[in-house]
Structure 1
């Protein structure tokens, strides 16, 4: 049970949940050899790294994809399709991991992930590439939740923060390396297609470990397969997925593909609103579901701590997504970097992020006061984001590196600790739901922030470019093409004046996008001040 410095009861206790500590002191890895567990962790961490890699690998291949497949208006979906599909399926996966054999689910997720990756690599059209990204995103969500579920199932509460940190670190490193690896493939003879094909041999190497070494566990052996499927809130899952997909579509396409006041845009917003209301009513009134089975853990909303953890974790994810996607893009436009060179500019972020993710995971069980981590981390994100809002095409590379590093300190401190804190604040039967809840915050907000940032880039960028090119009588399609990067007609025109005007306008657009990072940091700070000033006890051994 958690201990609080002010002797107040926990939020989940107040809402009538069972106590955290079951009173049992059983080693959750009884019967598992150390060598087996080490190999299991290696496979899980490398799987999380592949998932992170695919989350951002499209950041530095979009120009080459545009050159090969065309359709600039669909470019945002190359990056968004993956996290969108992941978030749309996180809650059903979270419920499934509480019911089905976790090894079977993990292996099934890997198969789906690899199938999507293969389709992406072989995609003959942009539509096929987007579909492949969505399929891979579904599998990736299952892989990542599987890794987190293994960490929760086979570790003690003392160990869980470090194992969660290592899982998050693997995913985070993958996210950071994504633009680097994507950029390397996009300028090599292998082409951008191997940015997706690379998952196939990587999974092939790990497959024997997944098949023969990774332990198996059935969380509900008392239920039949049919009963387990019946225990999933399929109606809620479908409505939830529909809500998220509609939001991503309308935010991404409004303004760039069709005007905000266009009939299609209005209809999509209306349908999104109707689905949101329907989901709220269906979950709140338990229509065609029950308290235990509903897809969204509504009772978590009664917990101030869990709600604030959701907001703070989501804000950190949003900040990370924006920095990862738009810092390399800024260098490509303003410094003339190749995709690989621009991605390497993230190294200051990578190194600092790794150090502080590990530091937070190792020290949280000792310090216990998680709200302090969120306050300090939020301050660093706010400062780094505010400084990134000041950059322009003349800002020195050294200063930008420093601003990246400041943001990375804050993001690293917060990125993964929400999982350990959330699990510590719920009853054992709600642990899978808590993991899914925080995962929706983390991955979901990354997807939402990228959709919003992409909308700003397409809409604000186009308006700034059109204003800058006023009087030149250039067609709108030609102006908008500048947002596709250095392979666009604008940058390949050889007209130094036009290129300079485009660079200034695009740099200004990206500078505005970085305001999302500063806002995310400020939201974390506010959330930390509203959190309980308590010390959670992570020293208790989890029940078997």
Structure 2
């Protein structure tokens, strides 16, 4: 495949970057917005047992299709492939918004997940095709920085829509925003990273063997079984040592092993080529992405719990209280992108991010019921700056090191491993949080039922209702929840250290066009055989 050297500029480029950034925001918003709406949904549908599926159907469908999406972007025009995935995502959102039953809502979440599987990596692929290598860090930083706001603003937006309109607007909101992005991308001629043939029956017949559909038929059920096991265990619908969860984990493991042998047999035609996985920059970038983004997702779930359960804030105010982490995260994501484009080297930003997030998560772990406002604002600013500085670095590293023809698959691998591992981190964090609460309550507030505490959730009113008004044990209850948050952020500090250590493997590569011109030409010649 030959590299395309045509790029877009001016208002067309602004429209493309704005469109993929909007979609990135919607995707991450969609993952976080539902939590505050679920109580109303379960009340309307009388469907409390279905709660796990409202949140679980989306990542299950997303993970199942994501590995194949990289192959689709490799062989088909990125713009139209992206629009197909966006249409499916919008269709799923519409089904959820008009769902007359709980089952229809679950189906809609699954359809939306299928669409979402090719959008984040698709947005990065579009940016890679539309801009030269030296400019990609800036534009990717804008996409990732603004998009990540969806994670932290999701509960706030979801709560406001549910309280002042209807929970259905948590899904309807995707339609006009996604529709605008769809039209803009449809009207603009966007170049591809590599020159693609026109869609035809002959092209379909030629590339069908290269899609590695048998590999997809193996990796999809492996991912689904793993996520189902995590879903069942975390929602306590099945014990971790139950036959169901053990069977799912064993099935996932065996299927993954068979998938590995199949991919080895397929060689460079595999869905996940072995040469790519062996590439040091590829696997270290994936590890950095997993650990750094894992701290963002998990931390964004537990900071609101601290402000609600421990500090006594409502859902809206807890959303306002995490803004000291949001704003520097956005600013430093853009600054890091601009810095890489200007200075050429991405590694210093990843190292800076690893150090700062390790310190920031460590400082946040010291939060207690008596932490002052100035302190929790300052610590969050530090943490947010660290998060933003390294957010897009793994994607830039693999685009610099790998041949252009392999970039779509590599981005899909980044997103696939991110989704799987983030699910694991969330389960681990939940276990740490709940077990800490149980242990602390048994020691310092023995009259409080641990079962009641686990069932109460993390809202201010629910936590304070565990003890009678004026009870001296209230302080012990608040300290228990604070200790749970502390231990979660200590885990995140450890992940940040891993991110820092893995960053060294991404190498001192220069993304500036002049210094990479000869290297890129060599990569293109290698990519022709892919």
- How far did 1:457 drift? 4.2
Residue of 228, 238, 246 corresponding to 2:217: 238
Aligned to 1:269: 249
Note the C-alpha offset of 1:443.
4.1
- Quote the Cα distance in structure 1 between the aligned partners of 2:370 and 2:226: 36
Q: 1:449 aligns with which of 391, 413, 425?
A: 425
Q: Which range moves more in the overlay, 331-340 or 79-88?
A: 79-88
For 1:88 and 1:74, the matched residues in 2 are separated by 21
Indicate the residue corresponding to 1:11 in structure 2.
none
Larger mean Cα displacement after TM superposition, 60-69 or 306-315: 60-69
Residue aligning to 1:373: 349
- The CA distance in 2 between the partners of 1:467 and 1:77, in whole Å, is 35
Match of 1:200 among 170, 175, 189: 175
Q: Aligned to 2:229, which of 239, 245, 250?
A: 250
1:225 Cα deviation from its structure 2 partner: 2.2
Distance 1:519 1:119, change over 3 A: farther
Provide the C-alpha distance between the structure 1 equivalents of 2:189 and 2:428, rounded to a whole number of angstroms. 39
Q: Whole-Å Cα distance in 1 between the matches of residues 339 and 407 of structure 2?
A: 22
- TM value normalised by structure 1: 0.84
> Could you tell me how far 1:411 is from its partner in structure 2?
1.5
Alpha-carbon offset, residue 171 of structure 1 = 1.6
The reply on whether 1:519 has 2:484 as its aligned counterpart is no
Tell me the residue number matched to 2:323: 347
Distance 1:298 1:74 in 2: 40
List aligned pairs for 1:120-199, cutoff 5 A: 120-123=96-99, 128-188=104-164, 190-199=165-174
Query: For the residues of structure 2 that align with 1:35 and 1:412, how far apart are their CA atoms?
Result: 26
Distance 2:326 2:57 in 1: 24
Deviations 1:361-410 (A, max 9, x none): 11113433433222211111111111222222232233222222222222
Which moves more between the two structures, 518-527 or 491-500?
491-500
Q: Which residue of 2 aligns with 1:14?
A: none
Check the 8 A contact 2:308/2:458 in 1, yes or no.
no
Alignment partner, residue 485 of structure 1 = 459
**Aligned residue pair count:** 513
1:404-443 aligned within 5 A? 404-443=380-419
Could you say if the C-alpha distance between residues 242 and 392 of structure 1 is closer, same or farther in structure 2, counting changes exceeding 3 Å? farther
**Offset of residue 531 of structure 1:** 4.7
- TM-score normalised to structure 2 length: 0.86
Cα distance in structure 2, aligned partners of 1:535 and 1:215: 26
Q: Distance in 1 between matches of 2:24 and 2:47?
A: 31
Q: Which runs of 5+ in 2 are unaligned?
A: 525-530
Residue 117 of structure 2: SS of its match in structure 1?
A: helix
- Distance in 1 between the 2:103 and 2:464 partners? 25
1:248 and 1:451 in contact (8 A); partners too:
no
Equivalent-residue separation in structure 1 for 2:183 and 2:458 (angstroms): 41
Q: Would the aligned equivalents of 1:315 and 1:524 in 2 still touch at CA under 8 Å?
A: yes
Q: 1:517 deviation in Å?
A: 1.5
Structure 2 partner of 1:4: none
Report deviation, 1:274. Answer: 1.3
**What is the alpha-carbon distance in structure 2 between the residues aligned to residue 396 and residue 494 of structure 1?**
26
1:52 — aligned with what? 28
Q: Say yes or no: does 1:313 pair with 2:289.
A: yes
* Structure 1 pair 199–221 and aligned structure 2 pair: CA distance change class (3 A): same
Matched position secondary structure for 1:394: coil
Q: In structure 2, which of residues 480, 487, 512 is the aligned counterpart of residue 505 of structure 1?
A: 480
Q: Do the aligned partners of residues 388 and 60 (structure 1) sit closer, same or farther apart at CA in structure 2, a change above 3 Å counting? A: farther
More displaced, 530-539 or 102-111? 530-539
SS at match of 1:132: helix
Give the 3 Å change call, closer, same or farther, for CA 465–111 of structure 1 in structure 2. Answer: farther
Q: CA deviation at 1:444?
A: 4.0
* Residue of structure 2 in register with 1:279 after alignment: 259
Stretch deviating more after TM superposition (110-119 or 205-214): 205-214
Q: Call closer, same or farther: CA 1:358–1:126 in 2, change over 3 Å.
A: same
Let me know the Cα RMSD of the aligned residues. 3.2
In the alignment, the residues of structure 2 paired with residue 489 and residue 35 of structure 1 have an alpha-carbon distance, to the nearest angstrom, of 51
SS at 2:166 equivalent: coil
Among 1, 8, 18, the alignment partner of 1:42 is 18
Does the aligned pair in 2 maintain the 1:100–1:228 contact within 8 Å? no
Once residues 468 and 259 of structure 1 are traced to their aligned partners in structure 2, the CA distance between those partners, rounded to angstroms, is 27
Compare 390-399 and 155-164 and name the one that shifted more.
Answer: 390-399
Cα deviation digits, residues 387-436 of structure 1 (max 9, x gap)? 22222223223322222222222211111121121011011221212222
Q: Is the 8 A contact 2:22 2:178 kept in 1?
A: no
| Separation in structure 1 between the aligned mates of residue 353 and residue 126 of structure 2, nearest angstrom | 27
